[in-house]
Amino acid sequence: MAKPPAQRSSSREIEQFLQKSRAISQFVAKQPRLLFAVDATASRQPTWDTACHLQQEMFLATRKIASLAVQLCYYRGFQEFSASPWLTDSEALARLMGRVRCEGGQTQIARLLRHAQREHRKMTIRAVVFIGDAMEENPDTLCQLAGQCGLLKLPLFLFQEGSMRNVERTFRTMAKVSGGAYARFDAGSAELLASLLGAVASYAAGGHTALENHAGAGARLLLEQLGPG
């Protein structure tokens, strides 16, 4: 028996769909942008699981200021690097993060910073958040790229899990030359990480004034490094 012909969309329906798509794109384009990057190599699985829950703090912290568009970036495995579309829905971001599993591999922080610079040149990014525990690249190269971010007015907020001294030294320098901030946490300080993410989100959405009005240990720690607005 022959199948009935598929119903075709009318020109009006197609135009309505295109208008809706353009409206969504224009809405997302107008939101303050924050790039949220996580090291997804094998050692990061416990903190990745934590970050899946805590990233919602970034959205909750900015509801009274402005909607926030977030791009999720991560690297893992053999030269695998992923960047999501810009999202304004915390649930969509949580679902996206929930589908990722960490895999063994080398760090790709330089690749991440180059990607952030390209995105920033297309449309301004207010801040880059990076969560990681290791650094297997040349510190001079990373600090040079961080300095370039500083010239572009693209601050880096680097949150280190653990206490590896060489990682701390490099991350601190990267944060300083980019105009951002550094903080360290461990598996037992999820509350601090949540506070830091919320504070950066407030900064991305409303600048230094919004950060000053944001309560919590994370905001105080960032303000100490950023200085007066």
One-letter amino acid of 162: G
Q: What order of strands is seen across the sheet that includes strand 127-132?
A: 80-83, 69-76, 33-39, 127-132, 156-161, 181-185
DSSP code string of 69-91 = EEEEEEEETTTEEEEPPPB--HH
Residue pLDDT tens, the chain, 229 long = 555 555 555 556 555 544 444 444 444 456 899 999 989 998 887 776 776 776 656 656 555 555 789 999 999 999 999 999 998 887 787 788 778 888 999 999 999 999 999 999 999 999 999 999 999 999 999 999 999 999 999 999 999 988 899 999 999 999 999 999 999 987 777 788 888 888 998 899 889 998 998 888 999 999 999 987 6
Look up the pTM and report it. 0.83
Domains and CATH numbers, the chain: 33-224 (3.40.50.410)
